[in-house]
């Protein structure tokens, strides 16, 4: 079990302890409320059970499996199915960029691929990159690494974000030696 899964399990145990209700009882309250919107459910849990904002939001995500990755997994979708969904419709033409990036990354060695709702997280001991369509015209490659100076192409991301840098890619040919070198640095730093 990953550290994130352990953290969720601990938070769920604490919620059950504080509310005096089992997870099944909490699920019944949420489902039986007749409410559908996340904000309405969160407010109801806060008001009726005295839950904090974070606990209520996390519980709703777990019960409704509404965080993209869990929703797809609950519906029986594979990682490939989730990635197919990310690159569907108006963003389907961006899939070759993703595939080219993954082809290069697979040469580095082992890492975990964790598709989320709108991007793919790549991890070793920690996340080293994120890949996903930022718009209908480009894929954004987020990089977690230290060392390089930002350039016009390697864009520094303000502190507090999920990555330190990003690179915008509009066609598969832009997956060049420079970008691959940055990916390798991020990969090695995460290892």
pLDDT single digits (tens) 76-104: 556 777 888 899 899 999 999 999 999 99
> What is the pLDDT at residue 153?
97
In a domain, 70, yes or no: no
Tell me the whole-structure pTM to 2 decimals.
Answer: 0.62
> What is the pLDDT at residue 5?
64
Pair 93, 156 in one domain: yes
> How many CA within 13 A on the CB side of residue 133?
22
In a domain, 120, yes or no: yes
> What is the pLDDT at residue 6?
73
Pair 110, 48 in one domain: no
Pair 26, 111 in one domain: no
In a domain, 151, yes or no: yes
Calpha distance 107→103 (Å, rounded): 7
Reply yes or no on whether the pLDDT at 179 is more than 90. Answer: yes
β-sheet bridge partners, residue 114 = 121
β-sheet bridge partners, residue 141 = 131, 167
Pair 38, 98 in one domain: no
Calpha distance 135→188 (Å, rounded): 28
Pair 144, 114 in one domain: yes
CA–chain centroid gap for 24, Å, is: 26
> What is the pLDDT at residue 77?
57
Pair 28, 109 in one domain: no
Which of the four pLDDT bands, split at 50, 70 and 90, describes residue 17?
very high
* Cβ atoms within 10 Å, residue 161: 12
Which of the four pLDDT bands, split at 50, 70 and 90, describes residue 149?
very high
Pair 29, 111 in one domain: no
DSSP code, position 126? S
DSSP code, position 190? T
Pair 100, 174 in one domain: yes
Which range of residues forms the domain containing residue 88? 79-189
Which of the four pLDDT bands, split at 50, 70 and 90, describes residue 71?
very low
β-sheet bridge partners, residue 156 = 165
């Amino acid at each position: 079990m990953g550290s994130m899964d352990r953290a969720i399990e601990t938070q769920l145990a604490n919620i059950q302890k504080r509310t005096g209700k089992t997870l099944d009882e909490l699920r019944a309250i949420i489902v039986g409320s007749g409410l559908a919107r996340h904000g309405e459910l969160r407010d109801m849990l806060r008001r009726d059970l005295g839950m904090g904002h974070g606990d209520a939001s996390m519980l709703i995500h777990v019960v409704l499996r509404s965080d993209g990755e869990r929703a797809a997994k609950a519906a029986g979708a594979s990682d490939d199915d989730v990635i197919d969904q990310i690159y569907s419709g108006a963003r389907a033409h961006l899939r070759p960029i993703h595939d080219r990036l993954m082809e290069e990354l697979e040469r580095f060695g082992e890492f975990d691929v964790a598709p989320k709702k709108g991007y793919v997280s790549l991890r070793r001991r920690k996340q080293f990159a994120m890949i996903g369509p930022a718009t209908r015209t480009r894929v954004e490659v987020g990089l977690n690494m230290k060392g390089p100076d930002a350039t016009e192409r390697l864009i520094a991301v303000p502190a507090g974000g999920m990555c330190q840098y990003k690179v915008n890619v509009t066609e598969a040919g832009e997956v060049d030696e420079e970008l691959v070198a940055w990916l390798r640095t991020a990969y090695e730093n995460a290892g």
